Amino acid sequence: MTVNFNKYQNNLVPAIIQDSNTKTVLMLGYMNQEALQKTQTSKHVTFFSRSKNRLWTKGESSGNYLELVDIKVDCDQDALLISAKPVGPTCHTGSDTCWDEKNESSFGFLTELETIITQRKNDASDSDSYVASLFKEGMNKIAQKVGEEAIEVVIEAKDENDTLFLNESADLLFHYLILLQAKGFTLKDVESILISRNS
């Protein structure tokens, strides 16, 4: 890995720190060659502190280390993307990130869909809502719908119509998200089990 430390003043390059699991950006720091080398050997992310004018390992006083997973250099070789596992909150304020955000997994539109399902679940008075009607009918109906959609996915998987297969897959996933919430869980709970199985 080649990094152009001579491009900027004080031979420092920006280092973006990203949670290796959630992909949340945790903080931005600066590294010189010595900080990068210490990060690689110690496996704890180390910066050059411009205010202290010395090397500074994140967590050296708080214990909230950033455990190194991977380092990538950008196309111009003058910026670093560092994947790390945070031990505790990253920001000195106690926040998960230096942008005062929660460091949580996000599944893009599926996370939005979970939020919509929660809203419909909590607003049982919405008579036009299909989701609300399922929650009204109870666990047996929701579980039955998941079973029906699963069978339809299997049937379409044996056919050659990819459009039907994908549509039935979407129906299955949608109803599975409803079932998860009916049981008091979310995709994050399922993700944590998959992560534990992979370790």
Closest CA to 116 of 126, 104, 105, 102: 126
What's the domain count of the chain?
A: 2
User: 190 and 138, same structural domain?
Assistant: yes
Structural domain for 131, as ranges: 109-198
Query: Is 98 inside any structural domain?
Result: no
Residue 89 and residue 20: Cα distance in Å, rounded? Answer: 14
Write down the pTM of the prediction: 0.74
Query: Is 149 inside any structural domain?
Result: yes
At 123, the pLDDT band (50, 70, 90 cuts) reads: confident
Query: Is 4 inside any structural domain?
Result: no
Which amino acid is it at 159? D
3-state secondary structure of 25: strand
DSSP lists the bridge partners of residue 111 as none
**Which range (17-31, 41-55, 87-101, 114-128) has the least confidence?**
114-128
Which of 37, 53, 86 marks a domain boundary? 86
| pLDDT tens digits, one per residue of 17-30 | 999 989 999 999 99
Query: Is 79 inside any structural domain?
Result: yes
Which of 25, 53, 86 marks a domain boundary? 86
pLDDT recorded at residue 8? 82
- Strands 54-57, 66-73: pairing is unpaired
Is the Cα torsion angle 31, 3, 28, 94 positive or negative in sign?
negative
Q: Would you say residue 192 has pLDDT above 80?
A: yes
Residues 6+ apart with CB under 8 A from 80: 3, 13, 14, 15, 16, 31, 36, 71, 72, 73, 74
Query: Is 104 inside any structural domain?
Result: no
User: 183 and 116, same structural domain?
Assistant: yes
| pLDDT tens digits, one per residue of 140-162 | 999 999 999 999 999 999 999 99
User: 117 and 80, same structural domain?
Assistant: no
Residue 81: φ, ψ to 5° = -115, 115
When pLDDT is averaged across residues 85-107 and rounded to a whole number, the result is: 94
User: 82 and 152, same structural domain?
Assistant: no
Query: Is 51 inside any structural domain?
Result: yes
Cα 159 to the chain's mean position, in Å?
35
When pLDDT is averaged across residues 179-190 and rounded to a whole number, the result is: 95
Residue 111 and residue 113: Cα distance in Å, rounded? Answer: 5
Query: Residue 146 maps to which CATH number?
Result: 1.10.287.1080
| pLDDT tens digits, one per residue of 35-76 | 999 999 999 999 999 999 999 999 999 999 999 999 999 999
